[in-house]
Amino acid sequence: MPRVSRAVVVEAPEKMILKEFPLPEVGPKDLLLRVEMVSICGSDRLLYKGTHKASSFPKILGHEVVGYVEEIGELAAEAYGVKKGDRVTPEPYQMCGHCENCLGGNYAACQPRKNYGVSFTCDHPPYLFGGYSEYMVILPGSKVHKVEPDVPAEAACLSSLLGNGLRWIRTKAKVRPGESVVIVGAGALGLTTAIAALEVGAFPVVVVGISADEIKFKVAKEFGVDETINLEKENVVERVRELTSGRMADVVVECAGVPASIQLGLELVRTEGRYVLAGVTGGRQVSLVTDTIVNKELQVIGGHGQAWEVEDAVRLLNARKYPIEKLITHRFPLQEAERAMALFMAAPKDCIRVALVP
């Protein structure tokens, strides 16, 4: 095993460098992960630019990760149920296990938040707290899940993303079989949310996007989505009304984080329906016609991060039911991370998610 790990460090806003870090000694409660693939998340883009609320420097980004157990302590092996050589995906959150949020089941809200690739800086040992690296340190209080050998890395690294979709559909919106679901936003978040809706038996499942989303619409259809709507070419409200026999959607999940889309979602949900806000605006203030919420007596629900949903997400990945790997459209070696980030931010039509391969 090498004594160092190469990692990409964000030293300042929009400045990445490739550095070497010493590999740590692995204690009884620790796990050292050899990274196989890491996906660039939308929050990584904000952290790279320095506009995220958790922005700090220097930092190794990356929390959507799959890899192999390189070394593991005895207590960690017992806690996680994995051994050296196992292929695993870690969840983004490290939890204390004894605060009100952890004890109540929402460990994603443990304070202060400790998220791999988000909260930690890399200016103190053991340094390797993010997935843009050859190796990554998994600390006590983490959750780790085994991934089958035949699952493509492009699917496995998106376990937490799929967990998000399951949380918003199943845990937050409590979607029942036969209920109609409209997802506003055709990116990776929207498409994994569509999978979650299909899994609970929703009908119809509809994804709303724009003309630049044609490749995403194609993937949505491959997943089994019932309808896709291009809001730049169709009257979305009338189309949803038609698809729901005049009722409008039982549940709308907004995944785009665009002010106009957030208002649109209010118009698409039925009276006494549920509206999950999952897309983030980057701190921008959004104007809403709140009378719509009042008059329709809507439930408006915030959707943050997964908690206890990744177990089912990994079971779904291991079952190979959906070609989730198609969400990763571009791959770059670790040393080309800045080029990969530039492509992701440019968001060309053929791009859904970008991954780094150490």
pLDDT confidence bin for 1, thresholds 50/70/90: low
pLDDT confidence bin for 169, thresholds 50/70/90: very high
Per-residue pLDDT of 28-38, as tens digits, reads 999 999 999 99
Task: Give the amino acid at 335.
Answer: Q
Segment 346-355 shows an average pLDDT of: 97
User: What is the rounded CA–CA span in Å between residue 47 and residue 325?
Assistant: 25
Looking at the domain 4-146+323-357, which fold is it?
A: Quinone Oxidoreductase; Chain A, domain 1 (3.90.180)
> Is 90 exceeded by the pLDDT of residue 2?
no
> Is 80 exceeded by the pLDDT of residue 164?
yes
Write down the pLDDT at residue 151. 98
Segment 207-231 shows an average pLDDT of: 98
pLDDT confidence bin for 345, thresholds 50/70/90: very high
DSSP 289-323: -HHHHHHHT-EEEE----SS-HHHHHHHHHHT-S-
Contact 88, 97 (CB under 8 A): no
Q: What is the pTM of this model?
A: 0.96
Instruction: Work out the angle between the directed axes of helices 337-346 and 42-49 (0-180°, nearest 10).
Output: 110
Residue 206, Ramachandran bin (φ over 0: left; ψ between -120 and 50: alpha; else beta): beta
Q: Where are the domains of the chain?
A: 4-146+323-357, 161-302
**Average pLDDT over all residues of the chain:** 96
User: What is the rounded CA–CA span in Å between residue 289 and residue 25?
Assistant: 56
Under CATH, which number does the domain 161-302 receive? 3.40.50.720
Q: Which of 49-58, 122-131, 184-193 has the lowest mean pLDDT?
A: 49-58
